């Protein structure tokens, strides 16, 4: 089953799913170098509804947010990795620094963020609440971040030089 779609096509798919009574959940992020925190976040998010959509920051967006040298993996690779997870139903890639345009297009029932947020600090919470959706937090304690993993690799590499 194909899982990766541009937002325009995915909007039609999600509209059909919602008309069929499915609860749509949206998770988003850069997902550069998949780690256990990502898995816990997405798995937990998938249990909050019937359909899990993952919106991935594009290469240019990730670079603006994370800085020089990022992403490590390009957007096509990151999307393909996430598409291999049985608990992810659909994936789209967005160019903006935040997921607002995706939220306006899909209007998911639930927007899920990782536990580095609270329901009050989710940046797009007003958008979600304005169209009648809910925000939720998923995943459990943030164990790893890609930035931490990169620093650890660099430290080991420097120690071996």
CA 22 to chain centre: 19
pLDDT in tens, 26-57: 999 999 888 888 999 999 999 999 999 999 99
pLDDT above 90: percentage of residues in the chain: 76
Predicted confidence (pLDDT) at residue 156 exceeds the cutoff of 90? no
pLDDT band at 129 (very low <50, low <70, confident <90, very high): very high
Q: What is the SS3 assignment for 26-71? A: EEEECCCCCCHHHHHHHHHHHCCCCEEEEEEECHHHHHHHHCCCCC
From the list 31, 62, 33, 40, the residue with the least C-alpha distance to 151 is 33
Residue 142 pLDDT grade (very low, low, confident, very high; cuts 50, 70, 90): low
Taking the domains of the chain in order of start, what are their residue ranges?
Answer: 7-159
Residue 125: pLDDT band with limits 50, 70, 90: very high
Coil, strand, or helix at residue 7? helix
Contacts 24+ apart (CB under 8 A), 86-90: 87/42, 87/43, 87/46, 87/52, 88/3, 88/42, 88/46, 88/52, 88/54, 89/3, 89/51, 89/52, 89/53, 90/3, 90/4, 90/5, 90/10, 90/13, 90/14, 90/51, 90/52, 90/53, 90/54
Looking at domain 7-159, which CATH architecture does it have? Answer: 3-Layer(aba) Sandwich (3.40)
What are the E-state strand segments in 90-160?
90-94, 110-114, 134-138
């Amino acid at each position: 089953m194909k899982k990766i779609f541009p937002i325009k096509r995915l909007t039609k798919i999600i509209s059909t799913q919602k008309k069929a009574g499915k609860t749509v959940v949206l998770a988003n992020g850069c997902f550069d170098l998949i780690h256990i925190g990502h898995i816990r976040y997405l798995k937990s998010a998938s249990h909050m509804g019937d359909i899990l959509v993952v919106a991935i920051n594009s290469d240019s967006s990730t670079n603006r947010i994370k800085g020089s040298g990022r992403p490590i993996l390009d957007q096509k690779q990151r999307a393909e990795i996430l598409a291999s997870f049985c608990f992810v139903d659909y994936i789209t890639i967005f160019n903006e620094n935040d997921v607002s345009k995706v939220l306006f297009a899909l209007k998911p029932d639930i927007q899920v963020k990782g536990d580095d947020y609270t329901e009050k600090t989710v940046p797009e919470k007003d958008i979600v609440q304005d169209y009648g959706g809910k925000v939720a937090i998923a995943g459990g304690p943030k164990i790893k971040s890609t930035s931490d993993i990169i620093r650890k690799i660099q430290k080991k590499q420097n120690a071996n030089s």
